[in-house]
Amino acid sequence: MLQKVRKAVFPVGGLGTRFLPATKAMPKEMLPVVDKPLIQYAVDEAREAGIEEFVFVTGRGKVIIEDHFDRSYELESVLRERGKSDILDELQNSLPKTGTVAYIRQQEPEGLGHAVWCAKRYIGDEPFAVILADDLILSDKPCLAQMMEAREELGGGNILAAMEVSPEHTSRYGILKPGYDNGKIIEVKHLVEKPEPKDAPSNLAVIGRYILEPSVFDILENQTRGAGNEIQLTDALCSLLKNSPFYGLRFDGTRFDCGDKIGFLHANIAFALKRDDMNQAVADIIREISSDL
Ligand code: G1P
C-alpha cells in the first residue's frame, strides 16, 4: 500500500531581502494577505491535504512564527469577555494540535536544500511534503491536495508543482526538462536551478510545493553548492530523479509570488475579491482608482 504523506516541512529561515524594509524585523512569512499571514495559508493548505505534523525550519528573528501557532490565553479571554466567538473559534481552529509542530533552527542560511536537510531527523524514513509559503496559490482545491491525488493515481513517486512561465523569466525558477506530458502530469527528465533563458530546457517552472521520497536526505547530505553558491534543493532533486520516479503536476489555480512586492499586492487584491465580506468594497476602490489612471 502507498505510504501516506503525513509530515510537511516549511522552510522559513530566509531573510526576505526582496521585501525590505518590511522584513527587517518581521519574518516575510508573517506578511498578511488580506488578514492572514502567508505561513498560515501554507499550514492551512497542508492540513487540508491531510498533513498531520508540521516542521518549521527557522532562523534568527523568526520566533514570532512560533507565537503565531501557539495559544494566546490573554487574547482568548478578552475575546470571550467581549462575546467575539466567531474570531475566537477561527483562531482556535487554525492551530495545529499540540505536539504536532516542531521548530528546527537552520543555523546558517546555506540555501533551500540545506533547510530541507535540517528536517532529516524529524522526517525519518517516510515521504514528506515541502511548502514554500512565498508561493501562494488561489485555487478551489488546495494545490498540495491536488498533488496528493496525483500521487495516488500514479502509485507514488516524487511530485512537484509545475507551471509555465514566460521564457524570459526562467532565471527566477527551477526549470524542468519534460518527458512524457499529458497536459496535467509531466515526467521530469532533468532540472536546472535558475537557468538563463538560453540554457533553459523548457519554460516549465517549479513552484514551491514538493512531495519527496526520504532518499533525498542522503543526497542532500553530500550536495555541493550550486546556483547563488547555495545548497540547492533542485540540484539534489536532479540526482533523486535518476533513481526514483519523478513528476510535475500542472495544478489548477493561480500562483502569486509573495516574496515580490508586485506579486504580493496582486495576491492581496485577488484574495480580497474572493471574499464575500469585502469584494464589493474592494471592486469599488479598484474602479475608482483606475478611473484616474
Ligand atoms: C525556490 C527554488 C526554485 C523554485 C522557486 C519557486 O527558489 O529554489 O527552484 O522554482 O523556489 O518559488 P527561491 O524563490 O527560493 O529563490
Which residues are CB-neighbours of 155 under 8 A, at least 6 positions away? 2
Low-confidence ranges of the chain (pLDDT < 70): none
Residue 8 CB less than 6 A away from ligand 1:
no
Q: Is residue 288 part of a domain?
A: yes
Q: Is residue 216 part of a domain?
A: yes
Residues 182 and 275 both lie in one domain: no
Q: Would you say how long the chain is, in residues?
A: 293
Q: How far is the CA of 206 from the centre of ligand 1 (A)?
A: 7
Residues 216 and 284 both lie in one domain: no
Residue 175 CB less than 6 A away from ligand 1:
no
Which atom of ligand 1 lies closest to the CA of 228? 16
Q: Which pLDDT does position 60 carry in this prediction?
A: 87
Residues 206 and 293 both lie in one domain: no
Peptide bond connecting 197 to the previous residue in cis, omega within 30 degrees of 0: no
Q: Is residue 1 part of a domain?
A: no
Cell 516549511 sits on residue? 10
Q: Contact at 8 Å (CB) between 195 and 171?
A: yes
The number of folded domains in the chain is: 2
Q: How far is the CA of 152 from the centre of ligand 1 (A)?
A: 25
Residues 138 and 265 both lie in one domain: no
Between CA 192 and CA 91 the distance in angstroms is 40
Q: Contact at 8 Å (CB) between 11 and 133?
A: no
Q: Which pLDDT does position 27 carry in this prediction?
A: 94
Q: Which pLDDT does position 41 carry in this prediction?
A: 98
Between CA 143 and CA 267 the distance in angstroms is 16
Cell of 92: 482556535
Alpha helices in 25-181 (DSSP H): 38-48, 63-68, 73-81, 85-93, 112-117, 120-123, 143-154
Q: Helices 85-93 and 73-81 sit at what angle, rounded to 10 degrees? A: 150
Residue 234 CB less than 6 A away from ligand 1:
yes
Which residues are CB-neighbours of 120 under 8 A, at least 6 positions away? 217, 220, 221
Q: Is residue 129 part of a domain?
A: yes
Residues 54 and 159 both lie in one domain: yes
- Look at residues 3, 253, 220 and name the one whose alpha carbon lies nearest to residue 118: 220
Residue nearest atom 15 in ligand 1 by C-alpha distance: 112
Q: Which pLDDT does position 34 carry in this prediction?
A: 97
Residue 173 CB less than 6 A away from ligand 1:
yes
What CATH number is associated with residue 92? 3.90.550.10
Q: How far is the CA of 7 from the centre of ligand 1 (A)?
A: 21
Residue 174 CB less than 6 A away from ligand 1:
yes
Residues 187 and 244 both lie in one domain: yes
Q: Is residue 108 part of a domain?
A: yes
Residues 251 and 268 both lie in one domain: no
Q: Is residue 2 part of a domain?
A: no
Residue nearest atom 10 in ligand 1 by C-alpha distance: 173
Q: Which pLDDT does position 126 carry in this prediction?
A: 97
Cell of 71: 495559544
Residues 285 and 232 both lie in one domain: no
Q: How far is the CA of 252 from the centre of ligand 1 (A)?
A: 19
Domain boundaries, position 118:
7-259
Which secondary-structure segment (H or E) carries 289?
helix 279-291
Residues 126 and 148 both lie in one domain: yes
Q: Is residue 20 part of a domain?
A: yes
Between CA 19 and CA 27 the distance in angstroms is 10
Residue 191 CB less than 6 A away from ligand 1:
no
Residues 268 and 245 both lie in one domain: no
Residues 247 and 265 both lie in one domain: no
Residues 135 and 268 both lie in one domain: no
